[in-house]
Amino acid sequence: MLLLERGHEIVIAGGTVLPDTSKALSKGGNPLTECVSMGIGAQGGAVSVIGGSVRIGYVESTKSQEGFQAFINGQHSYDSAFGAWPVDTSRNDNPAVSMVAIDLMAELDKTGSSGDNPIIDWNLTVGGIDYPYGAPTQFTDGKLYLWLPEEATKKQISVKLTYADDDGNVREVLPLFREPGQAGDLLKRYLDFEIDDKDYLSSLTKYYDGTPLPAYDLASKPITTPAPDNKVLDKVTDSSGKQLIEYRYQPHDRVPGDNGENATPTGPETSSTTMPVNVGALKITLVSKQYADESSSDAEIAEFAKSYWGHRAVMWGRVMPIASQVRDLAAEWVDETDAGQKPGGNPHPSDQSLKVSAVIERAETVDGQDGSEPTKPTAAAPEGRVQLYVDGEPVGGPIELRFEDKKDETGNVILGEDGKPAFPQNAVRAGDDGAGHYTQFFYTFKPSETDHLVPGVGAEGR
C-alpha cells in the first residue's frame, strides 16, 4: 500500500500500481468511521491519478482466490481520486476520476502471452479525441485499470498499443473499443465495410437547411461485407422495432482533400440514431448492429458478437453555411412618453435608454446573391452574434444572441451589481417550417454608459 501524511498528496502519472490491503483490520468497513487500510493514501491526504494502470477495490485474481479490499483518497468517496494535479483540496469542484477496467486478455491469448506483459507504445482516445493519460507499464492478468471521469465513460473509449509477448517480440494491438455506458470491461472491434454509392456520397455535401444529412438505407440497398466475412447488411430495425443503425459523427476543421490535406478534430464524437444537421465538416461513421447480439439464437450472430461490436462504414460530410439578412431595423427611446419623440433619430439626454431591435432571418439565396441556390424555410432561426453599425461603421464588439438570461456553471442567472441579470435575454425564436424561421433581436443600452456605440455623443450628452 502507498500511504501519506495528512495534507500531502500522491500523484500517479503512469506505470502499474497494484496495492494489496487484504490485511485490513475491518474488512469491508467504512473508512470514515472504522479502521480500514488504505490502498493508496490516508485519511486527510489526497491522491491524483492522471495515468497508469491502478487497481483498487475488490478484485479476484484469475490465478488464485486472493481478494483485495482497498480504498483510495478522493473528492467525496473512497473509490475515486482526483483527476488533475496539482489540486486545491479545500475546493469541492476538483475533477474526480474512478476506475475503469478494460480486458484485453483475448488479444494476448492470440500470441500465447501470459497476461502480465509489458506495454511498449500507448494511445488512448475518448470520444475520438486523444486523451492525455500516462502509459501503464504492463498488463495485469490481461487487464488495465484506467482512471477516467464519469463523463468519459459515456463516450466511446479506444485503446491502441504495442506490447512485448513472452518471447520479447513486439506485438501491435489494433484499435479496440469500449462502448459508451458499457457495463462490462471487455473491449471489442468493428468490422469495416464501404459505402461506394456515388450519388449517396455526393448528397452528404449540402448547404444548411435545418434538416439532417440523408441516411443510407440498408433495407433498400443492402451491402455485403468484404470476404471472408461475407455478411449481408440489409436491416435497419429488428423484428421488435429496435434500431440496428447508429451514427457517430465528429466535427473537423475540413474534409480531407485529394491533395493530401489532413483533417483535424475540433470536438468530441457524438452518437445518435439520426444524421447530423448543423454546419461543419464531419467525419461520419455508420454502425450496423445487425450481427452484434451475443444472446442471439443464431449461432453465426452470437459468435460474431463475441469479438465485434458490429460493422461500420466511415464517410465524410459537409454542411455549408448560408447567408442571413436583417429587416425591420428600428431604434426607440424607451423612457420617452411622447410618441413623436420615441424614434431613435431624435436627440435625447445620453443617460436615457435606447432600444435597438431587428429581425434576423435566412437570406433568399445561400450566398445572398440573386440567381444563386434558394435557401429553405426549414432552416432554424439564426443563432450566434450580431454586429452593430453606425453610419456604416462597426461599433463595439459582436453581441451574443441570448435566448435566455445567461447562467453560470451551476445553472443560476448571473446578476449584476443592481441585482438584475448581467447578461439578459436579447433574442426570441419565431416562425415555422412553412414560412420560415427567424430571430427577433432587441438590445437596450444607455449611450452615456456605452459611448463606443454612439460615436456622435457631444459635450451636451446628446
For residue 184, the model assigns a pLDDT of 75
User: What pLDDT is recorded for position 76?
Assistant: 47
Q: How far apart are CA 419 and CA 411, in angstroms?
A: 16
**Domain residue ranges in the chain:** 98-186, 198-320, 324-453
pTM for the whole structure: 0.74
Asked if residue 125 lies in contact with residue 178, where contact means CB atoms within 8 angstroms, the answer is no
pLDDT in tens, 230-250: 999 999 998 889 999 999 999
What are the cell numbers at 31? 473508512
pLDDT of residue 77 exceeding 60: no
CATH code that applies to domain 98-186: 2.60.40
Question: What is the per-residue pLDDT for 344?
Answer: 81
- What is the spatial distance between Cα 268 and Cα 266, in angstroms, rounded to a whole number? 7
Q: Give CA–CA dist 235/256, Å, rounded.
A: 30
When pLDDT is cut at 50, 70 and 90, the band that residue 347 belongs to is confident
User: Cell triple for residue 183?
Assistant: 457495463
Residues 300-346 pLDDT 10s: 888 888 889 999 999 999 999 999 999 999 999 988 888 888 888 88
pLDDT tens-digit map of 13-61: 999 988 765 544 444 544 444 444 556 766 666 788 999 999 876 555 4
Mean of the per-residue pLDDT values for the chain? Answer: 85
Q: Let me know: does 401 contact 425? Beta carbons within 8 Å.
A: no
Which of 57-66, 93-102, 180-189, 417-426 is least confident? Answer: 57-66
- Torsion sign over Cα 295, 300, 243, 195: positive
Asked if residue 351 lies in contact with residue 444, where contact means CB atoms within 8 angstroms, the answer is no
Judge contact between 248 and 270, C-beta under 8 A. yes
Q: pLDDT per residue over 148-171, tens digit each?
A: 998 888 888 999 999 999 999 999
pLDDT value at position 20? 65
Q: How far apart are CA 186 and CA 171, in angstroms?
A: 19
What whole-number distance in Å separates Cα of residue 4 and Cα of residue 200?
Answer: 61
On the question of a cis peptide bond just before residue 86, with omega within 30 degrees of 0, the verdict is: yes
Q: pLDDT at position 82, please?
A: 84
Question: In this structure, which amino acid lies at residue 16?
Answer: T
Rounded CA-CA distance 19/69 in Å is 9
Confidence of residue 71 (pLDDT cuts 50, 70, 90): low
Phi, psi of 90 (to 5 degrees): -80, -15
Mean pLDDT along residues 257-275: 85
Cell of 125: 482516445
**Res. 274: pLDDT tops 50:** yes
